[in-house]
Amino acid sequence: MSAKFIPGEGVVGRPRLTTAPLPPYSYVSGYEPHPLRDPAGHLFGQKETEVTLLDPGRWDNSAAYLRGIDLFNHGYYWESHEAWEALWHAAGRRGTTADFLKGLIKLAAAGVKAREGNRDGIGRHARRAADLFNRVGGTTGKDHYAGLSLQALGVLARFLEAEPFAAALLNSRWVLEDAFCLRPAR
């Protein structure tokens, strides 16, 4: 099995929000060892990190949230999905913060589906992400949530949903950041 995404290719100069090292590969089912279940996986045997509830006003204090952004921006879509999913569970899977995190999870899932070559999956996850970001904006009446622009997230999700762009994602070395990098700001 050879990895579809080799860290370091095309990611030089992207911002880092944490100092945690990036994984040795980006997990794609059928191509690499499952990170948690396979003894050769890059997370096998590691204790799950405890996360605390994401405070959207103090997002920059959440190591798990920032780690998810780092992973996403560097093409580790499955891994970013896992980081944000832990926060989603901590948020109780319901409410505004949970909806926001679920939107990020769906955006990462679209990246995973792109790596798998699954056009329908890309569109389905991207559409759901856009709906969730729209809901968060409608609920809060704000343009930003946890440091990220809800409008920009929605635009990215709708962009991924579009068929011509989804086809471009089927290039296994392509990284979503080439079109959009999640850059939180106060």
Residue 101 near residue 109 (C-beta atoms within 8 A): no
| 1-33 per-position pLDDT tens digit | 333 454 445 566 677 889 998 898 888 888 788
**Is the confidence at residue 69, as pLDDT, over 90?**
yes
pLDDT in tens, 142-184: 999 999 999 989 988 998 888 645 545 544 444 554 445 676 7
Burial bucket for residue 135 (CB in 10 Å: 0-12, 13-18, 19+): middle
Report pLDDT for 150. 94
pTM of the model: 0.86
pLDDT value for 119: 83
Question: Is residue 47 very low, low, confident or very high in pLDDT (cuts 50, 70, 90)?
Answer: confident
Six-digit token pair at 160? 């991924």
Helical pair 150-161 and 119-140, crossing angle rounded to 10 deg: 160
Amino acid at 38: D
CB 47 within 8 A of CB 53: no
pLDDT digits (tens, 9 = 90+) for 80-117: 999 999 999 999 999 999 999 999 999 999 988 887 87
Options 1.10.3450.10, 3.30.70.100, 1.20.1250.20, 3.20.20.70; which CATH number does 1-186 get? 1.10.3450.10
Domain boundaries of the chain, sorted by first residue: 1-186
The radius of gyration computed from the CA coordinates of the chain, to the nearest angstrom, equals: 15
Number of Cβ within 10 Å of residue 114's Cβ equals: 28
Instruction: Judge contact between 56 and 144, C-beta under 8 A.
Output: no
Structure tokens at 152: 């920009």
